[in-house]
A = this chain, B = another copy of it.
Amino acid sequence: MPTSPTPNSTRRSERSRVAILTATRELIGDLGYAKLTIEAIAARAGVGKQTIYRWWPSKGAVVFDSLLVLSERPDGGGIELPDTGDLEHDLRTVLRATAAEFSDPAFEAPIRALNTEIINDPDLAAVYREKMESPMREAKRRRLRSAQAAGQLPADTDLDLFIDLLYAPLTQRWLLRSGPLDAPFADALVTAALRAFRP
């Protein structure tokens, strides 16, 4: 496993680990991904470069770990999508929120940085899927299964395809900046996805 967000040695300094991850997140926000350097991270964290190289195999792994906390629930519990009983309404809420998050400058730089690393590093992509994508996708599946139980979605629906149809166009548009990430677009996606799987 290329990243080690938790100490794998009792000797490891927790203080340094946190300082490095924090410094990395701050620097990505300040400079963007392209200008991020290991030296700057070490300097800002008040840490020797060797301490970074000792615990992470690549810059990408540091960046990844530093952003992992963004997706972690402080309470340790799993992520949960809203479930009012009305699938279409809930999906609109969630998709609009996702669109808004992409537009938030505080998330913009880090997520672009993360994508840059993942696109070019298959190992990191695997870790990403395991640590960040999977939990989120499982939460989405849970909500859709609940809808199936409620008879709002056919029982034989390919849930992963449904999720892809819903989210991929949104992510795509954000990555390539090919159009506005607004509520009408989010709503249109929800409508289209639901229509694609109606009986």
Contact = CB atoms under 8 A, between A and B. Distances in A.
Interface of A: 32-34, 112, 115-116, 118-120, 122, 125-126, 128-129, 133, 158, 161, 164-165, 167-169, 171-173, 175-178, 188-189, 192-193, 195-198
Nearest to A193: B196
Contact of A196 (B118, B119, B172, B192): B192
A112 B120 contact: yes
Given A112-B119, A195-B195, A128 B161 contact: no
- A interface majority secondary structure: helix
A192 B188 contact: no
This chain's copy number in the assembly: 4
A188 B158 contact: yes
Given A119-B112, A120-B34, A196-B196, A188 B176 contact: no
A188 B161 contact: yes
B172 A164 contact: yes
A14 B27 CA distance: 37
Nearest to A121: B34
B133 A178 contact: yes
A164 B175 contact: no
Contact of A176 (B116, B129, B165, B196): B129
A119 B169 CA distance: 15
